[in-house]
Amino acid sequence: MRHLMSPMDFTVEELDALMDRAEDIKNHPENYNHACEGKTLATCFYEPSTRTRLSFEAAMINLGGDVLGFASADSSSAAKGESVSDTIRVISSYADICAMRHPKEGAPLVASSRSKIPVINAGDGGHQHPTQTLTDLFTIRSLRGTLDGLTIGLCGDLKFGRTVHSLINALVRYNNIKFILISPPELRVPSYIREDVLCKNNIPFEEVKSLEDAMPSLDILYMTRVQRERFFNEEDYLRMKDFYILDKEKMELAKKDMMVLHPLPRVNEISVEVDDDPRAMYFTQAQYGVYIRMALILTLLEAAKEDKDA
């Protein structure tokens, strides 16, 4: 059974094929209206979400399939103490594929080991968010035409931001990538990303504090929210939450073709005045998340069928 726990579960060739498919879906959505008729997606979300859950549901509806699920741990039997393993065994008999978000790192992996249907990690704690990464890669490739030769600035909460960890993991496999990691010292990337991913793969990177200084050299600026829910105390969160605010003045320092991305939701880190700048692509990014999730659902359901037929 093929699942998706990390962007590394797909080879670069498989990622390319997935993005080709998403591009075709974007250009010819009418060809896919009935592709998943008779199939059901379960969305099991133990943590809040707007984009990931609803874009998965939109993806399955666009493919002609059905959706069921829960949007919080409180509205499921997790509130009565049911384990993720038991839940997925039951869901396996109600649905054909499952997208799961959980506050505990590794919970979707545990679920996948007990599941009879493909499980997609829709975000596990501060660990990974692979379908956000697929969205990010697809947005960059679709709008810039390539994932090679880019200088990428990652700004904000690089410690707890799971989208950042997944994105770095995925991008190091492309050519001539350089990272500028922009954060306060307390929110730098964890050592397993710095040492095991960046250093190990000889990827050029700098860790800096000033967004202004980094702006002129960036091709992509990936802004992130300070992850309040992962802080141990409110005082630290309040001290760091407004550390970076991207505004019109800072945008003037950037290249004319730089692209601003953000996984969303945003809090204060991008001023709304930036939304009208043609380089602000974060709402397009959220829209592209539907196309890549459609491609992913199709691909995993096909793999499950091949498995069953073998």
Q: Shortest Cβ distance from residue 264 to ligand CP (Å)?
A: 5
Nearer to ligand CP, 88 or 264 (CB): 264
Burial 258-278 (b: 16+ CB within 10 A, else e): bbbbbbbebeebbeeebeebe
Nearer to ligand CP, 295 or 304 (CB): 295
Residues at the interface with ligand CP (CB under 6 A): 49-52, 123, 132, 263-265
- The active-site residue, picked from 52, 133, 135, 163, is 52
Q: Shortest Cβ distance from residue 265 to ligand CP (Å)?
A: 6
How many C-beta atoms surround the C-beta of residue 68 within 10 A? 13
Q: Shortest Cβ distance from residue 261 to ligand CP (Å)?
A: 11
159 close to 188: Cβ distance less than 8 angstroms: yes
Strand-pair category, 259-261 with 178-182:
unpaired
Distance between CA atoms of 271 and 218, rounded to whole angstroms? 19
Cα first-last separation, the chain: 12
Distance between CA atoms of 101 and 108, rounded to whole angstroms? 7
Nearer to ligand CP, 3 or 51 (CB): 51
Let me know if 52 is a catalytic residue: yes
Strand-pair category, 97-102 with 119-124:
parallel
Distance between CA atoms of 184 and 201, rounded to whole angstroms? 24
Nearer to ligand CP, 101 or 141 (CB): 101
- The active-site residue, picked from 101, 127, 225, 293, is 101
Q: Shortest Cβ distance from residue 305 to ligand CP (Å)?
A: 28
Let me know if 250 is a catalytic residue: no
Let me know if 28 is a catalytic residue: no
- The active-site residue, picked from 21, 51, 165, 225, is 51
Let me know if 228 is a catalytic residue: no
Strand-pair category, 151-155 with 178-182:
parallel
Nearer to ligand CP, 153 or 263 (CB): 263
- The active-site residue, picked from 21, 127, 129, 141, is 129
Let me know if 162 is a catalytic residue: no
Q: Shortest Cβ distance from residue 57 to ligand CP (Å)?
A: 11
User: Catalytic residue positions?
Assistant: 51-52, 80, 101, 129
